[in-house]
Amino acid sequence: MYTHSKHLPADERRAVTVKTVVELAGSQNPSEITTAAIAKHMNLTQGALFRHFPNKEAIWQATMEWVAQRLLARIDRAAVGIESPLTAMQAMFMSHIEFVVEHPGVPRMMFGELQRAEPTPAKHMVRTLIQRYGERLHLLIEKGKSCGELSATLDADAAVTLFIGTIQGLVLQSLLAGEVGRIRHDAPRVFAIYQRGIGRLQ
């Protein structure tokens, strides 16, 4: 049942907060998102946020946890049941792109968090996320090499870096164009080049 009540249980309020941060990051510089802006966007007073989070850093941490969980779940789901490693990588790529289009603020939050000088919990969360992401890719790449789909001489580390860089490049282009939707159109074309770079020579 839908309720307009302003009173929400703590866990729901926290969930709404995280969702709000992700939304705001899609339309403005993540590092400029203030607690006041978050509160306003969810029809709450600023002070009320601190009933549910000890400080702003905790809000960021919760947000990055949400991101890590959802993104990993999404790419895992995309790759499951696909026997061809290359096809699985393509599915991972496209689902990641879909995630980014749905939540354009996510890659920007991640990049912004990584360049903080001090080691914040949120930064640690991003590191862990990318590490796990890399592990999954490494597995697929090794599998692809042994089954002959990928070049036997392929540099796996470089291939992982380029996979992530490919997405990063698309995000940059969408920032330049000012429209996120373009990324959906460009993604397959860019991945085609990547695929050619790692695939077996024909």
Partner DNA sequence: GTGATAAGTTAGTAATTGATTACTATCTTG
Partner DNA sequence: CAAGATAGTAATCAATTACTAACTTATCAC
Q: Does 189 bind DNA (CB under 7 A)?
A: no
Among 1, 2, 27, 45, binds DNA (CB under 7 A): 45
> d(Cα 48, Cα 66) in Å, to the nearest integer?
21
Q: Does 157 bind DNA (CB under 7 A)?
A: no
33/78 with CB nearer a second copy: 33
Q: Which of 129, 19, 1, 140 is nearest to 79 (CA)?
A: 140
> d(Cα 199, Cα 202) in Å, to the nearest integer?
9
Q: What distances in angstroms separate CA 90 from CA 53, 54, 85, 111, 113, one per listed residue?
A: 38, 41, 9, 23, 27
Q: Does 45 bind a second copy (CB under 8 A)?
A: no
Per partner kind, with CB cut-offs from 5 to 8 A, the member of a second copy, DNA, none near residue 190 is: a second copy
Q: Does 54 bind DNA (CB under 7 A)?
A: yes
- Among the residue ranges 19-27, 37-45, 132-140, 158-166, the one whose residues contact DNA (CB under 7 A): 37-45
Residues 6 or more apart from 62 whose CB is under 8 A from it?
14, 17, 18, 53
CA 57 to chain centre: 19
- Among the residue ranges 40-48, 62-70, 75-83, 172-180, the one whose residues contact a second copy (CB under 8 A): 172-180
> Phi first, then psi: what are they for 6, rounded to 5°?
-85, -15
Neighbour-count burial of 19, counting CB atoms closer than 10 A to its CB (0-12 exposed, 13-18 middle, 19+ buried): middle
- Among the residue ranges 2-10, 98-106, 124-132, 146-154, the one whose residues contact DNA (CB under 7 A): 2-10
Per partner kind, with CB cut-offs from 5 to 8 A, the member of DNA, a second copy, none near residue 31 is: a second copy
Q: Does 57 bind DNA (CB under 7 A)?
A: yes
- Among the residue ranges 47-55, 60-68, 91-99, 154-162, the one whose residues contact a second copy (CB under 8 A): 154-162
Q: What sign does the dihedral 97-98-104-110 (CA atoms) show?
A: negative
Q: Does 103 bind DNA (CB under 7 A)?
A: no
Positions touching DNA (CB under 7 A) are 5-10, 13, 32-36, 43-48, 50-52, 54-57
